[in-house]
Structure 1
Amino acid sequence: MQKPLTLGIAGLGTVGAGLLELLHTHKARVAERAGRPVEIVGISARSKGKDRGVDTSGIKWFDDPVALAKDASIDAFVELIGGSDGVAKAAVEAALNAGKHVVTANKALVAKHGVKLAKLAEEKGVALNFEAAVAGGIPVIKTLRESLAANEVTRVYGILNGTCNYILSTMTDQHRSFADALREAQDLGYAEADPTYDIGGFDTAHKLAILTSLAFGTELGFDQVDVEGIQSISEVDIEAAQDMGFAIKLLGVATRTEGGIEARVHPAMVPEESAISEVWGATNAVAIDADFCASLLLVGPGAGGRATASAVASDVLDIARGAVMPPLVTPTRGLKPYTKSRLGRHQGAYYVRLSVYDRPGAMAAIAKRMGDREVSIESIVQRRPRSALPGMVARQKPGSPAMVIMITHETTEEAIRSAVDAIEQDGKVSERPQVIRIEKLESA
């Protein structure tokens, strides 16, 4: 058997501790399948004395992750610190410059600096693997890197954030408010004390930027992704979606178009008969449309220490086997510049919720604003909120604005946004109109 692959691991949170446990528990299996043993010879974290539930005796401790990354005793450096810059970036760069293979679960780092790091890895002839950076335990990076490498991918989309999917699932299943569902997600550890990164769509955008580069052979374009979170989703929207045969999901969608790449993160109404509508709780799902392989849907745990550690371990085994490939599938010298397709050109149907003042001519004025921009209405209904009592419908208070829901025929993003802005400026509504895209997806 070959000499062991020696690892240095920086970051011993739930993923790092999970990786230590996995490599210890399955030591013999890993050696058999990799063709040589994998040994952890160095570790680094913020606190040396913290009890992490795993045995670290006999492993050399490094106060400085950068020093660990450059240490002569390691063949590969595993970065589980997090953050797009700072010590995580410095340590990964140090490891690559020293000719060490790198494995990272750091989506923010890859999304922001992936091209530069990939180029450095190629120059040094080492691996830069990041399976765990997108969708936790789901092998979506390997699918794009290996299984679909000969295909032309036209679209990649999915549920890429378990926190948001848990919140929306709870609102749907239990008829809870957004605030209540978020609070429960925080209590269960799915959401941070400051949940903005998740519910604002930024976590999904980082992951989508990585998938877009892998799928379409472009440079990374995180700053080119149009991002919208789920903060504005109300119980009324959830109820209306159910009544119309839809579920609301936070989607990341990247599509190759004639005008460039259309990459967007936003809440969407998806048909109840679509496979992705059935993905509940903290689960993630990634769908890939390719020319020779048609459509694939990968579903599984998108986060959690053990699932993410499993993805990290798979990258480590690839290195132990001697597999080194271009980190972004396409060698960096062949990556195409990221050309953004203007989102205003996006064609689709839309759900629009308006809180309309009960005044003569209000609806006529709203209809005119839509018509002026050639937005055709498929259906329009005045909706009353459901009562707290089963089987009862709450009555609208006299003088209060009426809730009106419109479904449009296919139109452009530019047209619907312009119409909604004009309606708000006219003063015919009491609050900012809610607009949710309706996505056409494959059936289950």
Structure 2
Amino acid sequence: MSNVVLENNVLQEKPGYKIMEISLPIFALISVIVLAATYMGVLPKGMIGAFPLMMVIGAVFNEIGNRTPIIKDYLGGGPIVIIFGAAALVTYGILPEKSGEIMINFMKGEGFLDFYIAALICGSILGMNRKLLIKAAIRYLPAILGGVITAMALVGLIGALIGFGAKEAILYIGIPIMGGGMGAGAVPLSKIFSEALNKDATEMLSVMIPALALGNALSIVAAGLLDKFGKNRPFFSGNGQLLKNKEAKLDGQEEGKKEESNPVDYKLMGIGLLVAVTFFSWGRILEKFIPIHSYALMIISVAVFKAIGIIPRKYELGAFQWFRFVMINLTPTLLVGIGVAYTDLPQVIASLTPQYLLLVACTVIGAIVGSGFVGALLGFYPIESAITAGLCMANMGGTGDVAVLSAAKRMELMPFAQISSRVGGAFILILATALLRLFM
């Protein structure tokens, strides 16, 4: 341990290479302990076992992705390596099966994804400038519509030209990709299709999943490419800011200065945690009475409360500080869970035929072009509009939103990403019903 010394019986770090701001020797020691517990079969169940394993894996793959040429510059860097690297570890048996079960249960059974998304939605909305939120929301839905129309038109046209069929390309590739993810998109879509076509819903779902998975993967890659393009063409990029008028810039800068001037307060962070999970519960309550996904209802509720201005500033600041803590410290951890629990690697690989890949790519490109163009007409930065209103419609819902925004280095756009995945996803279900009646 050349850059760690023992002083007064306490390990002292010297300056040097660090992972997660931990010196390499100490991080290596932590990793050895965690991996020893994993392979010995004594890794604790629940979050106490999932957290250390996922944090170690996420940190290592994040370093690899952020330091590997081409990957770091064009393919999204750390996030894409974390997701597919973690998926490979479990798929090919490199990690013990028991550890995979612990991580999957942590993500799905114990609700870590919901916990993370709740923090991001509440904190990012409540931390926004109120005027900026109102101005952006009014013009956002047309940008989503522009992306959907362009994506459907392009995939249908190319499907017809290559002999796949326009109707088949739209229904089996375009619609599932733009459908808002798995639970809120592909699953209800499979039921809609099965009833309309008199086929088994499981069969329909097996047709949709490869498109969904590939669309999600290409969306992550495209997000990294758009970030790179924005750095080379600053005119098209707001660097994480959606609106491009001067007033929005001033509002955003003013809000940023306010947040930066507030020191971290641990009690406020605790309040923020409670606010986030309470709003999540409120969304679930509303879902019982309103046939819209609870995430969408949560977003609408938080946005309405913010727009009206009835939440005391203290609670808004607490939610913002909690969101920042979760985003900075737990994003790589979550991406590991996405790879392990939500990425079917064999299915993605099996679908990699040139024809299928072309149609998936056309859908994603259509979403980018349509939402970027319409967004620009409405006063948005084209790249931010393409990422949120386009790619966050074409990815795998909440998990895809995190991966796409992470690859694009624009996590502060999570509220708009969630509007795309949830409200936009609900629109796709309606569109699918209408198209099935039209085509059949």
- Please classify the TM superposition score into its range, dividing by the shorter chain length: under 0.3
Higher gyration radius (CA):
1
Query: Given the two structures, how large is their TM-score scaled by the length of structure 2?
Result: 0.27
Higher fraction of helix = 2
TM-score (norm 1): 0.27
Greater relative contact order (Cα < 8 A, sep 6+): 2
